[in-house]
Amino acid sequence: MDRREMLKESFQSLKESLPGMLRLASPLALLLRAGATIASQAQKRSACADAPQTPEPTSDESRGRE
């Protein structure tokens, strides 16, 4: 089998498998986007949890302000 025939066969097999690949590409892209969104939200939550919190006033402090 010469090089031209090999290229022709591999191109043909690629052409035949392309519709299946495209059917998988859309759901895969959605999964990747969802995963990126979840990771981003988790990172934001982690940053908020690490940030210093301002203490809430105790009942004595709030009575003194009134």
Residue 53 belongs to some domain of the structure: no
What is the radius of gyration, based on Cα positions, of the chain? 29
pLDDT of residue 7: 92
Q: Rounded CA gap, 38 and 34, in Å?
A: 6
Tokens representing 38? 């979840």
pLDDT, tens digit, 9 for 90 and up, residues 36-66? 999 999 988 887 777 666 666 666 655 555 5
Overall domain count for the chain = 1
Rounded average pLDDT over 20-39:
88
Tokens representing 63? 């009575």
pLDDT over 70 at 1, yes or no: yes
Domain of residue 8 covers: 3-48
Residue 10 belongs to some domain of the structure: yes
Q: Rounded CA gap, 62 and 58, in Å?
A: 6
Percent of the chain having pLDDT more than 70?
Answer: 76
Residues near 57 by beta carbon (within 8 Å), at least 6 away in sequence: 65
- pTM equals 0.42
Residue 43 belongs to some domain of the structure: yes
Residue 24 belongs to some domain of the structure: yes
Residue 56 belongs to some domain of the structure: no
